[in-house]
Amino acid sequence: MNNTTTKISTMKILQPITIGGVIFKNRTMFPPLTTGYEDKDGNISSQSRAFYTRLAEGGTGYIVLGDVAPVRSFAPTPKLFDDSQIDSFRLLADNVHAYGAKLGVQIFYPEYDVNVLNALFAAGEMQKLRTQLNHDMQHFVNEVSEDALMDIIDKMCACAVRAQKAGIDVIQVHGDRLVGALCSTQMNTRTDKFGGSLKNRTRFALMLVHALKKVVPDMIIDYKLSVVTPERGKGGVDEIDAPEFAQWLEAAGVDMLHVGQANHTGNMADTIPPMGVQPYCFFADITGAVKQAVSIPVSTSGRIINPDMGEGILQNGKADMIGIGRALLADPDWANKAGADKATDIVRCICCNEGCVDNVLNRSFIACVVNPENGFEETRFITPAQMKKNVVVVGGGPAGMEAARVAAKKGHNVTLFETATELGGQLHIAAVPPRKNEIRRAIEDLVHAVHTQGVTLKLGQTANIQSILALEPDAVIVAVGASSFIPPIPGIDRKNVYDAWQVLAGKYKVSGRVAVIGGGVVGCETAEYLATQGCKVSIIEMRDQIGGDISVTVLPSMLENYKAYGVEQYTGYMVTSINNGEVNCKDKNGSIAQIPYDYVVIASGARPVVFDTEALSVKGIEVVQVGDCCEVADISYATKTAYDAANAL
C-alpha cells in the first residue's frame, strides 16, 4: 500500500501563499502541459474546460494553461490572438475560480516564421512548408530581425491584454521555445545586441517582461525559467547563469518563477522523463539554487508523485510551490485527498508516458492509463447504481480490479475470482525489466482500491460456471486476460526454448547466449533485462525495426542500454527453424542468418484467453468481457474497457 508519514493537517503544501499581492489557497500547481484538448482554432473546448475545471474541483491551487499562442500557428495548443477567443477563456476562468483556484496562461512564441508558414499553408504548398519549418526550427532564432522581434513582443502583449479581459489571474512567459532559444548558448549565434553575452542573450526576455508589466500592470507575471543542465537541454539559460538571470527577472518585475528543465533536444524524456530515467524530484536542487538568489516565490516540478515528496521540497527550502503534472492526470483529487488525510487513497502516476506524452506526440489528446476519466471528464464519471446487483468479476489483473473497483463504488455487491494467490496479473512481470519497477504502484493502488471499496476476494480460486452461479450473479465481468503466443516454428519444442513471460516471472533461468524471437514491447524489454543480467543477447524481429510500440520517450534509454551491453538486432528477419545451437533466419531478400544460442526466448505476442460464458448467458445473466481477453492491447485499454463495462451496470 502507498503510505505517508507526514501529518496532513500541518503540511506546508496545503497552506496559502501570497504572490504579487494575491492569495493562492495552497501551494499545489498544475504546470503547463500540452493537452490536445483545445479546438483546432485554439479556443478552449468543452473538453478542455471540463479537464481544468476537474483539477480545480480536486483542490489544485494554481493551474497554468500551457502553450497559449498569441498568433495563428500550427501547434495543437490554445490560442488567444483574436478578441473572438476571449469568451472561451472567460468561461474557463469562471469555472476554475468557482473552486477557489487561480488560472494562468503560458504565452509562448514558436521558433519559426509564422507569417511565412501561414502563407505557404494557405497556398497549399505543403512540401515547401515542411522544408521551411525544418529550416526555421534550426535557424529562426538567428535569422529573425529586430523589427520582427519587436512585433512579436507586441503580439504577446496583446495576448496578455486579452487574457486579462477573460479574467485570467497570471501571465506566465514560456522561457523555452523562441524566448529560451534566444537565451541559449547552444542555439543563439547572433552577433547583434541579442547575441553573445548573457546580458544580450536575455535581452529579449527582459524586454518582454517590461512590456508585459506596462500593458497588464495588475496581473501576476510568472516566468518559466528553462535551465540547460550539463546533461540535457538547449533552449534556455545555462545552469551556472540561472541564479543571476533570476535576479534580473525579479528586478524587471516578475512576481514568481517556475524553474524547469530546458528542452529542444528532440527527446521529450528530457523534460517529461518516464519511469526510471530520472530520480524523483529531479529538478528540486536546481530550483533551490535559484530560490536562494531571489526573494520572489519559486516553483518546481519533475517526478513529484505524492504529497510527502512535495512537502519535503518545501520544508527543505528548495521551492515555495510544487508543480504536479502527470500525477494530477492520474488523480485530480490529489490535493483534496491530502487535505482530508486520505493520501493513501491517491492514485499515483506510474510515469509511463504512454497515455499522456505519447498521445500528444501522436497528435491525439492526453489520456492517463491509470485514470480512465482523464480526458473524458465530460462523459466518464461513476454514476450510482439504480438497483444494487450481485456482480462477479473473473480475473484479478488491472482490468478485473478496475471493473471491481468501479462496480463496488457504484454500490453493487462485488466478488472477484483470481486463480493466483495475489492480485495484479501480468503487471507483475511488466514491472521486472529495467526502469519498470514503478508499475508496481498501479498494482498497489488498485489492490488498495478494491479493499477500500469492500470487494470480496476469492484468491487462489479458479472461477468456473458452478462457482459463479453459486453466487447468484446478476452480471459477470470476464477479465481473464491473454496468454503468450507460441508460433509453430520447427524446433520450438526444444528443452532450452522458453516463453518470455515465464522468464520474466522467474520460472526459468537463462544464461550465456540468448536469442530473443520477437522485437515488440515484451521482446525488447526481455532482451534488455537479460542483457543486464549478463547474457549475450540477440533480438530477431520480422519488421524493419524493433520497438515500434514502445514509447518514444522510453526507447532512447533502452537503445543506449543495448549499445552498452552489446545487444545485437536482426531486423527484417523471419525465423525458419530452431536447430541444435542455432536459430535459422532469412530476410525478405532471401539472405540467411544463423544465430548461435544457449537459450531461446519466445516473445511473439499474445492471444486472448477464452472463457466459456454460454451457460451464464443462457440463464439470462449479463456477461461482458474486458481487457486483453477482448483484444490484446495495453493497460490503458484494460482499465478503460473495465471502467466503462462496470459503470454501465
User: Mean pLDDT, to the nearest integer, of 157-170?
Assistant: 98
Beta strands in 151-241 (DSSP E): 170-174, 220-228, 237-238
The model's pLDDT over 453-486, given as tens digits with 9 standing for 90+, comes to: 999 999 999 999 999 999 999 999 999 999 999 9
**Between β-strands 582-587 and 592-596, what pairing exists: parallel, antiparallel or unpaired?**
antiparallel
Q: What is the pLDDT of residues 186-199, one digit of tens each?
A: 999 999 999 999 99
Of 567, 524, 541, 312, nearest to 436 by C-alpha is 524
* Domain of 519, in residue numbers: 497-604
User: Are residue 594 and residue 616 in the same domain, yes or no?
Assistant: no
**What pLDDT, on a 0 to 100 scale, did the predictor assign at position 619?**
93
Instruction: Answer yes or no: is 355 within a domain.
Output: no
Residue 442 lies in a domain: yes
> Rounded to the nearest 10 degrees, what angle do helices 114-122 and 126-143 cross at?
170
For the chain, what is the mean pLDDT? 94
How far is the C-alpha of 230 from the C-alpha of 209, rounded, in Å?
Answer: 27
Domain annotation covers residue 361: no
pLDDT in tens, 19-78: 999 999 999 999 999 999 999 899 999 999 999 999 999 999 999 999 999 998 877 789
**pLDDT tens profile 560-588:** 999 999 999 999 999 999 999 999 999 98
Q: Band the pLDDT of 130: cuts 50, 70, 90.
A: confident
pTM recorded for the entire structure:
0.94
pLDDT at 8 over 50: no
Q: Which of 27, 49, 54, 177 is catalytic?
A: 177
* CATH for 291: 3.20.20.70
Residue 32 lies in a domain: yes
Q: Which domain-ending residue is among 318, 349, 380?
A: 349
CA distance 418 to 429: 16
Residue 428 lies in a domain: yes
Statement to judge: residues 475 and 535 lie in one domain:
no
Q: Are residues 104 and 181 located together in one domain of the fold? A: yes
Q: How far apart are CA 278 and CA 231, in angstroms?
A: 12
Residue 129 and residue 277 in one domain:
yes
Verify that 526 and 540 share a domain, yes or no.
Answer: yes
My answer on whether 473 and 503 are in the same domain is no
Q: What is the pLDDT of residue 283?
A: 96
Last residue of a domain, one of 349, 367, 398: 349
- Rounded to a whole number of angstroms, the CA Rg of the chain reads 27
% of the chain residues with pLDDT over 90? 87
Based on the fold, state whether residues 150 and 200 are members of the same structural domain.
Answer: yes
CATH code where residue 625 lies: 3.40.50.720
Higher-scoring residue by pLDDT: 501, 136 = 501
Mean pLDDT of 283-310: 97
Q: Are residues 591 and 510 in the same domain?
A: yes
Domain contains 1:
no
pLDDT at 360 over 50: yes
* 252, 114: one domain: yes
- Residue 583: per-residue pLDDT: 97
Nearest alpha-carbon partner for 302 in 223, 398, 224, 399 = 224
The predicted structure's pLDDT at residue 266: 65
Q: Which string of DSSP letters, residue by residue, matches 121-174?
A: HHTT-HHHHHHHHHHHHHHHHHH--HHHHHHHHHHHHHHHHHHHHTT--EEEEE
Residue 6 has pLDDT above 60, yes or no: no
Q: What is the DSSP letter of 609?
A: P
Distance CA 195, CA 561 (A): 38
Residue 509 and residue 454 share a domain: no
User: What is the band of 120 on the pLDDT scale with cuts at 50, 70, 90?
Assistant: confident
pLDDT at residue 559 in the model: 95
State yes or no: is 177 an active-site residue.
yes
Instruction: Report yes or no on 40 lying in a domain.
Output: yes
324, 349, 374: which is the final residue of a domain?
349
Is residue 359 domain-resident?
Answer: no
Contacts of 518-522 spanning 24+ positions with Cβ under 8 A:
518/602, 518/603, 518/604, 518/605, 519/543, 519/545, 519/546, 519/547, 519/569, 519/571, 520/546, 520/547, 520/548, 520/549, 520/603, 520/605, 521/547, 521/549, 521/550, 522/484, 522/603, 522/605, 522/606
**CATH number assigned to the domain comprising residue 584:** 3.50.50.60
pLDDT of amino acid 423: 98
User: How far apart are alpha carbons 501 and 523 in whole angstroms?
Assistant: 10
Judge if 459 and 562 occupy the same domain. no
The number of domains in the chain is 3
CB 54 within 8 A of CB 377: yes
Do 421 and 534 lie in a common domain? no
In this prediction, residue 2 carries a pLDDT of 46
